[in-house]
Amino acid sequence: MLFQHIYDEDLAQASYLIGCQATGEAIVVDPRRDVETFVALAARHGLRITHVTETHVHADFQSGARELAQRTGARLHLSAEGAPSEDGGLDWSYAFAHEPLHHGDVVTVGNVRVQAVHTPGHTPEHLAFLVTDGATTEEPGFFLTGDFVFVGDVGRPDLLDEAAGGVDTRFEGAKRLFASLRDRFLALPDHVQVWPGHGAGSACGKALGSVPSTTVGYERLVAWWVPYVTNGDEAGFVDVLLEGQPDAPLYFGRMKWTNKEGPALLGQRPPLPELDVAQLHERLTVGDLVLVDTRVIETGRLDHVPGAYVVPEGKKFATYGSYTIVPEKDPRGLVLLAADATQAASMRDRLAWTGIDRVVGYVTSLAGLTAGPVPMVPPTGLADVPDAFVLDVRTASEYAAGAIAGALQRHVGRVAYRHDDLPHDRPIVVYCQTGARATVAAGALRALGFADARELDGSYDAWVAAGRPTAAPTSPVPA
């Protein structure tokens, strides 16, 4: 059996390729949308992808399962466990063609057996997959847990409320997660390896470990939730689980619904055209295109492009892109600043991971588009900005630990979605902890028509270092 873990550090998301070398067949679990990655990997190992599946209707990235099945002709297996329960709730059944998977169903990939295990809690339809290498044993050795169990943590049950329009579904979700842990996870032998769908940095849990895998036995020994489950303390488990969950970026809601209804099929896209910068200037003026400035933050601050989205190329390119570009609200075509066609294609792929598909070209120069330094406010100069509106784009937990008095807290992943209550007739001064998220958020505001969006130089760390007054909110509510 071949077992390949494919991990993206940007979205902290894991996919899996599992193959049988004897028959040359393979299954891919939880693929991203850049499906050529999986096709090439399978070919490198002499395998053909015959099956595709995923653990659940994802919220944090645009699923590539439908795309990969279309690309390879593989059979697409998806959860059939998402129908509403008797007490109501939303229907999380997939709305496009697939082969349904119920609890206990087995997908056979040569000598490999992949068994679906219904593990509701994070979402109602969630499946985990027990993998058995039938060439060597009849006992399962691997458990692909998706967003059910992470290293040191479990999936949050509140995303349907936070981002997908649910109302108080978190409480029932937490109870179902408790039962899934008791009846499904802890019933497995200690030797079974656990391979989750996310690692540290994902917003799908609050304390994910950075180690890529664990075992049932190790989690039984050290996980915070085990004493609650083994002692039957459901109420205590629910309270601890729901407390302090991170702010959910609002693009999660779009991902949930498009992944349920069926992500658009991209096919094999043509190369991106390189645009003439003078022509781009005209199109920016007309307003049917918008630039995505991908320079490093320090360079962009020295000579910014008015009205451009600021999405620095780097480890968090897809994440920052998903925070700031809202395709359902901004119909303009996107033009990327790129070094060359290869980099432009890579950035287009990474934006597609979160359903941002409207990239129409790239430029390699900003000549004639820039307008000088980004307006910065020194920590000692905030009081000198007349009628300043202060916007804190950190997480709720960071805000609770100390903030600038009077600041509105709104996570950077929510600013581009919820800005109707922000003033157009006052300077908005944006800060985060050290400055990167503030730059991204301020760029989004300028791209959305807020002409006077400034950044607090050095953000909150610089504010504290300068001895400026702070406040400690007692019960922050994410906006």
Residues noted as catalytic: 432
Positions of E strands within 301-375: 309-310, 333-337, 359-363
- Give Cα separations from 155 to 71, 202, 221, 257, 262 (angstroms): 30, 10, 19, 19, 23
CA gap 333, 374 in Å, rounded: 24
Reduce the DSSP state of residue 27 to 3 states and report it.
Answer: strand
**Other C-beta atoms within 10 Å of 235: how many?**
12
* Residue 5, strand partner residues: 16
Name the phi and psi angles at 304, rounded to 5.
Answer: -85, 165
Residue identified by tokens 């690309």 is 71
Torsion of CA 347, 253, 438, 403, to 10 degrees: -150
d(CA 111, CA 85) in angstroms, rounded, equals 36
- What is the spatial distance between Cα 367 and Cα 4, in angstroms, rounded to a whole number? 45
DSSP letter assigned to residue 183: I
For residue 9 the two structure tokens come to 């550090």
